[in-house]
Structure 1
Amino acid sequence: MRFNKNYLIFILIAVSVAFAFISYNRGMKADVNGDYFIYWQTGGHFLSGQKIYTPGLVDGGFTYPPFAALFFSLFSFFPFHISAFLFTYVINYGLWLASFILVHKIFKQLYPNQNMNWPLGLALLFSIGFYWHNFIWMNANMPVLCLTLLGIWYYQRKQFGLSYLFFMAGTFFKITPVLFLIFAAIKRGPKDWPKIILTALPFIIVPAILRGFPTGINDWKDYYEAFVAPFGKGKIDENIISLGVPALLNKINTGNAEVGIAPVLHLTARTLKLAILAFQVVSILAITLKFAYDRYIKKSEGFSAADFCLIFMVPLLLPGRVWAHHHVCTSFVFTYVFFALLKEKRTTLLVFSCILCLLTNLITKDVIGQTMTNYLKHYSFITLVMLFVTGIIIALNFGTTKQAKTAGE
């Protein structure tokens, strides 16, 4: 055992050194047209009192809440390329490791008497492409993932105040973790609503104090106009690599003349918008009713691993803006799915799921050719796999099998 532990430590050190060189190289070659330059520049603007949002841009511009701009201001003290290196290594590599540790700790608590090595190993293997995409393009999903995982961890431990704090921090960094707060509010009931609301105050007040209250108020107005309003009105990113059900339906409705793919559907813009809205509303309503049923009929204030997975899947399937690097949460989702399939001895389904998950990491022209790459991207293959995975979660957890152990009860 000592040898194995020392061996793992040696591997970790070697990998960390390798990633230090990769991060330095990536940071020194960082493009001022990339996402990280927007983060770095916004951090500087936050400190200098300049506007941090540019409402009306078709693409680009800062689209995270003001608290995220405060976070990025820490990196703006460094020159751009040095900052890019530090962010890539400390945040996107460091939190990559931290997310593995958190996922492992969460599942060991959910299933204390189960061997999680195979499920976790497979999950980390098949989610690596999403992590790498986030790392190499210097995106900002790792703080959100780790804050959310910490929220889950403390919820399981019944330390609800800390759980709300971490969920709220994730929400004010990037809006999607608000779902965990909403469903926690349903599960815990009105007794915890004041506590949840109060945890939001530091993330609103601190940036406003640092920016000055008039500027702080305008920041929220600009944030709403730059991000919330367009996507709230049904905006969808129109790009062959765009993911999520809205983008998938939009792409198969319009086709892609540039790569020679004809449309499959022929819906009017209004009909398509209504169809997407119906899917979104029905999905949210279904999961909300499920948690309300658990709380008020079954008298359960806890979440199962499958419950957490379903919440993670909502931001991957329903919004109008979904990219590959948003899928880093699959390290958690896949761990549950592979664990459930192994426990249920669904070998054929397990192998098929592994093949699909493997393919999500291989959608490049260098591996499968340009034509196949175009088709898989156009038809949002990753989203189709996420829908398939969601179906497995529902079937295994809410059908005839009830193996998921409810946490926090």
Structure 2
Amino acid sequence: MEDFEVIEGNVTSPKGFLASGVFAGIKKAKKDFAIIYSEKKAKAAAAFTTNKVKAAPVILDMEKIKSGEAQAIVVNSGNANACTGQKGYEDASSMAFMVAEKLNIDKDDVLVCSTGVIGVTLPMEKVAKGIELASQELSKDGGKDAAEAILTTDTFTKEVAVKLNIEGYEAYIGGIAKGSGMISPNMATMLSFITTDADISKKALDKALKETVKRSYNMISVDGDMSTNDTVIMLANGMAGNPTIEEDTHEYEIFYNALLYVNKHLAKQIAKDGEGATKFMEVSVVNAPTEDDAILASKSIVNSNLVKTAIFGEDANWGRIIAALGYSGANFSQDAVDIYLKSNKGIIKVCENGGYVPFNEDKAKEILSEKEISIVVDLNVGKYDALAWGCDLSYDYVKINGSYRT
């Protein structure tokens, strides 16, 4: 039995959090500005893109997060504020300053995120309008609007919340995310915002976020590209009133498992919403010699464009899977590898002991005709497993990205 309960909700499910999402005109029609606000200053932790080219908000937040505290997050979509030089950094700083003024908090407690087209400076008059409107619209019901306002090419919002019991105290974790293209292992082109009212030490919060990001957002792939703006931010305001959660305790394990569920759920939603995707793909690597080997192998397979196109074409081309395994850097013996394809239509072994095994092509085609496909790779040399998630690569991916700026 789980120590938490999945509920309908998002970033405003935990006590003391308000949010909003409005249209400011950065995008042509849809909501493009969001604020997430804690009524009490919160502990803060974050993870950022590993791309050497970092957007101005990422550079700004990497400095701000060192304090370990924050009270608000402001987000615009439609413009990434990336590769915009000193002007971009000043604009990101101005966003934090304007939000702080409206909410009567310290500008150093405002984190800034942007997503959209790279290389274009922010239209600051529209930014000012967005901050004015979003500040006025903050509410306990605003999480859904915020989830909508952070989207770019996404086709649906990503929201999740859980309720957990910490030493008799009811606490919540909620989240929203965006991501559809430029999704690659080791963060993606994605933003994710997680809130909790649980009281947890800064050290424990940092550890929990870092380890769950490794097993969630770092295990998804749509197209192998990595954005300049990828950010995960978590705020913990302690308003549940529970005794402070510390590392290496039973309460920490409860919190960690609930957070892992939240981040995995959002990561899988991002993978399912891949640009032009027709199928969701899970890669399970089992019985690896180490966890790192399992992670390397699963990420390599889920990130292979040839594997993705084979899944799109419903072609049981297992040779592409074992080839991606071979260049993954993972330790394994080819002669021990078994590969299976699995869906609601059944399971079929397509490779045995690293080589050909007779299988029913019609059955394999039937399995691959489903919307959700699982590739299971058994290395048969250890006890460690890893999961990665992605999607197929379709004609529509090229159409979407061939005209992204228009």
Alignment TM class, shorter chain as reference: under 0.3
Larger strand fraction of residues: 2
Larger RCO: 1 or 2 (CA < 8 Å, sep 6+): 1
Q: Normalised by the size of structure 1, how large is the TM-score? A: 0.26
